[in-house]
Amino acid sequence: MDVKERIRRLAYIYLALFFVPLLGVSRYAFFECDEYANHRDNHYNMTAPALRGSILDCHFRPMAYMHRSARVYPLGEAAAPLLGYYSRIYGEAGLESALNKKLLGNPIPRDPWAAYKIWKKGGRKGDDIVLTVDSDLQKKAFEALGGYKGAAAVMSVRDGSLLALASAPSYNPEEKLLEENWEEISRDEEAARLLNRSIQGLYPPGSTFKVLIMSGCLEDGFVSANESFNCEGKDLVVNFVLNCSAVHGKVSLKEALGYSCNVAFGRMGLRMQMEGIRKWMRAFRMDDPLKDVPGAAQAVLPTVDTSSAPAETAIGQGDTLVSPLHMARIAAVIANKGLDVEPHLLREQLSGSDAVWRYEPEKAQRVISKKNAALVAEAMEFTVREGTGMAAYIPGVRVAGKTGSAENPHGKVHAWFIGYAPAEDPKVAVSVILENAGGGGKFAAPVAREIMKAALELPEFKSGKK
Amino acid sequence: MRSTAASGAVLMGIVTVILAYGGWALSFIVPSGRDVWLPLEYAGLIAFSAWIAWGALALCYRNGNHNILPLTMFIITVAWLETYRLGFSTEDFSQGPRQAVFIAAGLALFLAVVVCLRDYRILEDYKYIFLILALLIQISVMLFGMRINGATLWVDIGGHSFQPFEFTRILLVFFLASYLRQFRGWLRMDLISENWRLPHRAFIMLGLGMAAAEILLVVQRDLGMALLLFGIFVSLFYAVTNRKDILALAFGLSSVGAYFCWRIYPHVQERVSNWLDPFVAFDGSGYQICQAIFSLANAGLDGTGLGLGGAAYIPAVVNDFTFVAIAEEFGIMGAGALLAGMILLFAECFGISLRVKDEFGSILAAGLVYMLAWQSLINLLGVTKVLPMTGVALPFVSAGGTSMLSCFAVLALLWRIDISDTPLKKTKRIRRADGASGTERALEAENGR
Ligand SMILES: [Zn+2]
């Protein structure tokens, strides 16, 4: 009977149509998963309890983790500019933003085999990221900034791992407080609380730049170790007046660095010329995009080529802009006897308990010879022992360093200090800037001292010493 | 393939295990301060009533299809677990228990209809009454109903709101099946012939009835139900008459109608634009479908796991989007299992229509299954954004008493049609009486017209 035949045919069509919703599900769960699973408005990424990965410090202590569908930051303000925030309303910032895809976990890939492997592993749980940062040191570095606007970068000399990246002023990243205080946090451009000054803040380097100039001059033979300069307190280079803090008289190269003699370094800069300065900035890898430090800014190399520019640039003024991390890296090169190790912030990515990615150290690059590095190191040690950086002295520890007071259009000079300790067996390199605080020797050096002291107390350095 | 009590028992066993395991799993995600064992108790209620209903049928009607109820219970169980769990997120803690009671009531109704409705063939005699009743119900909804989301679909009776179309759709299937069977000869004739008056009358009556129902639904802004009715009409009309020209006319007219609806009604335009790109109106009318897409994107192969998805962010999730919530938490595999359950269930139901010897029974059964299947498809295709969202409940899955009871009533009717037609000792007494009246009717139909 043909009625039944037609009923049967329609039945097949109806039943076949039930496969279409499965295609509809697969379209979003599989083919377009990438787009929607990591969409910023996707509720799952914001609320699914315990599914966003954690950010851990170098001892696997959590710095950011999910607890009862809220993001918890045990360090609070101390690490907020570094870690960023994670908000249902305002999205992510800092490492939370840079590492977002890894923390969210893998969307289901289109390759069925890869999809099957993810399924076997337990689905879309986000990966954990292990940083090189030490929570305790991060906290102490932030406290050491002591209410100033500024930043500190602490780097392990041996392997380039960043132990702390502190920045102030900060904010409380807990979601509720963030949303309550959002206006204050985001709108205040003067405070720029969301900026991680230690890697994103760009400042004139001031006299800390002299470490680079001295290294470059020695390498290129523009200055010899036993050369001395005559300082009369000031010097006129074309139309630019080089001012010294005092009349230094006859100074050796070591003393020129130790007392931060602008006249001596202005002359050295003129010998190098701008091309030489830029060459050495590149040699110290200041134009490195720093792929393992997410969000890090590149230094701004000087572009002005007037005849007085080399003198101005050599004493860290002019249009050069660097971040505290760049300066810590220079200190680390000297500490490493001329070898540059790449600074990095990410150590591994854990999926469950398996490391799916691990930082692979690149071979250290020689920047300056061992001999010249030793000369600069000696001068830096002299700076702390007898020169401008005496406030960085730690009893019983040989500290090497260089102060800086960077003139800027915003008011008082920025206080700078870069250095490393202990000088005989360098373990930690540090760089501190306090915006508009005043002289580097007076303001930044004591902060750097506190940070180095705390760093040398870390178990890995303490046990290494014994 | 004939189902047996044994295959049904195995399926019932599987459903019982899923219920027990699911109820136990729910106890882990019960919010603190709430009774941990409550889900398991209600799972027990569902399992108990399902076994009673299935067991009674298996004992009394040995020749019935004993797979239909377990397959239905499989769909219901998965949906109930998800509905219960979504209540935790929306803080509607009575949602799961309430739905369990509806399921138990539905099973009771199923049993009652199977036992009490001895002869479904009497339905054929009341076709015009059904049509008028259906139109009256829809008109009264328009006059006394509550407006929700710009559509007048709900009636409030004693504090309980229910959707009358859940019942009018069944009445309309009764009407269609009876009418098409009675006038099938004339409907198959050419429109223009020497005997043109008779087919003319049959077409006018059918056309007026369906057009009136469609227009009422469109005026009430119930697009989903209009689409459902259109699908049932087209399917049944084609199956009975094989008139492709009339179908083309119906499609043509409804396309023109749909175009004018789209031009006239802002809410239709809104649905279409939300279908094309919901993210344009993320903060407005597109929010629901956007959240559904996110839920689906989170599904993966095996889902997030019960209680770990975010489907509660979909507004009115347990009314229309339960399937999405199931897909999110049980993954592509879970959604596939549910769809497989539906395919098997509707295949068994279509089997009834194909097996039944009585022509009215066959057409009526086909109409009822087209209705359930097409309604399921409208919902499923809408929530997965294959079609625009029209807000139709998913049979046996969406939360709500009206839908659950009416779907069980339909299922019972199908079951009754199945057993009424198979002469076996157990039902012989009833069969004889029915059979006689059936033959009478058939003779009457042959001679009288
Ligand atoms: Zn001087």
The DSSP letter of residue A169 is: S
Q: Is B26 inside any structural domain?
A: no
Q: What is the pTM of this model?
A: 0.67
B199 domain-assigned:
yes
Cβ <8 Å between B332 and A43: no
Encoding tokens for residue A234? 């000031």
Q: Are B407 and B369 in contact (CB under 8 A)?
A: no
pLDDT at B361 over 60: yes
Note the pLDDT of residue A9: 92
Q: Is the CB of residue B261 less than 8 Å away from at least one CB of chain A?
A: no
Is position B379 within any domain?
A: yes
The answer to whether residue B439 scores a pLDDT higher than 50 is: no
Q: Is B143 on the interface with A (CB under 8 A)?
A: no
Question: Worst-scoring range by mean pLDDT, A106-115, A152-161, B180-189, B356-365?
Answer: A106-115
Q: Give the mean model confidence (pLDDT) for residues A343-358.
A: 87
Q: What is the pLDDT of residue B1?
A: 43
The helix/strand count (H/E) of chain A reads as 20, 19
Ligand 1: distance of its center to the CA of A233 in Å? Answer: 5
Answer yes or no: is B5 within a domain.
Answer: no
Local confidence band at B218 (pLDDT 50, 70, 90 cut-offs): confident
Q: What is the rounded distance in angstroms from the CA atom of residue A183 to the CA atom of residue A295?
A: 23
Q: Return the closest-CA partner of residue A222 out of A268, A159, A167, A277.
A: A268
**Do β-strands A365-366 and A162-168 pair in parallel, antiparallel, or remain unpaired?**
unpaired
Q: What is the pLDDT of residue A47?
A: 55
- Residue percentage of chain A with pLDDT more than 70: 92
For A276, phi and psi rounded to 5 degrees? -65, -40
DSSP codes of every residue in B86-106: HHHHTT-TTHHHHHHHHHHHH
pLDDT at A210 over 70: yes
Integer Cα distance of A153 and A98 in angstroms: 19
pLDDT value of residue A46: 59
- Respond yes or no on whether the N-terminal peptide bond of residue A173 is cis (omega within 30° of 0): no
Angle between helices B359-383 and B223-241 (to 10 degrees): 140
Of A11, A43, A51, the CB nearest to B291: A43
- Do the domain assignments include residue B184? yes
pLDDT score of A108: 60
B297–A7 CB contact, under 8 Å: no
Residues in chain A closer than 8 A to B323 (CB atoms): 21
The pLDDT tens digits for B58-96 are 988 888 889 999 999 999 999 999 999 999 888 888 899
Domain of residue B305 covers 122-446
Q: Is the pLDDT of residue B437 over 50?
A: no
Among A183, A173, A216, A215, CA closest to A77? A173
CA of A279 to the centre of ligand 1 (A): 26
* Model confidence at B153: pLDDT above 70: no
Total count of domains within chain B: 1
Query: Is B342 within a domain?
Result: yes
For residue B307, pLDDT beyond 50: yes
The pLDDT of residue A120 is 65
- The Cβ of residue B362 has, within 10 Å, a number of other Cβ atoms equal to 25
User: What's the confidence (pLDDT) of residue A112?
Assistant: 63
Q: Minimal Cα distance from A114: which residue of B?
A: B301
- Higher pLDDT: A444 or B220? It is A444
Mean pLDDT of chain B: 83
Helix, strand, coil content of chain A in percent (nearest 5): 40, 20, 35
Q: Give pLDDT, residue B3.
A: 61
β-bridge pairing A62-67 and A70-72: antiparallel
pLDDT, tens digit (0-9, with 9 covering 90-100), for A25-75: 999 988 888 788 777 777 766 555 447 889 999 999 999 988 766 788 999
For A229-282, how does the pLDDT look when each residue is reduced to its tens digit (9 = 90+)? 999 888 888 788 888 888 889 999 999 999 999 999 999 999 999 999 999 999
A113 vs A409, which has greater pLDDT?
A409
**Closest CA of chain B from A13, distance in Å:** 11
Please tell me the distance in Å from B360's CA to the nearest CA on chain A: 11
Whether A11 and B353 lie within 8 Å, measured CB to CB: yes
pLDDT tens per residue across span B231-253: 998 899 889 888 888 788 888 98
ipTM given for this complex? 0.88
Closest CB from A7, A28, A47 relative to B296: A28
The fraction of chain B above a pLDDT of 90, given in percent, is 35
Within 8 A of A89 by CB-CB distance, chain B residues are none
A63 min Cα distance to partner chain B (Å): 24
Q: Are A24 and B238 in contact (CB < 8 Å)? A: no
pLDDT value at A122 more than 70: no
Domain membership of residue B38 (yes or no) is no
Say whether pLDDT at A436 is over 70.
Answer: yes
Is residue B4's pLDDT more than 80? no
Residues A28, B299: C-beta atoms closer than 8 Å: yes
Find tokens 């597109």 and name the residue. B286
Ligand 1 center from residue A257 Cα (angstroms) = 10
Q: Is the pLDDT of residue B266 over 80?
A: yes
Q: Decide: helix, strand or coil at residue B247.
A: helix
B102 occurs within a structural domain: no
Closest-CA distance, A112 to chain B, in angstroms, reads 10
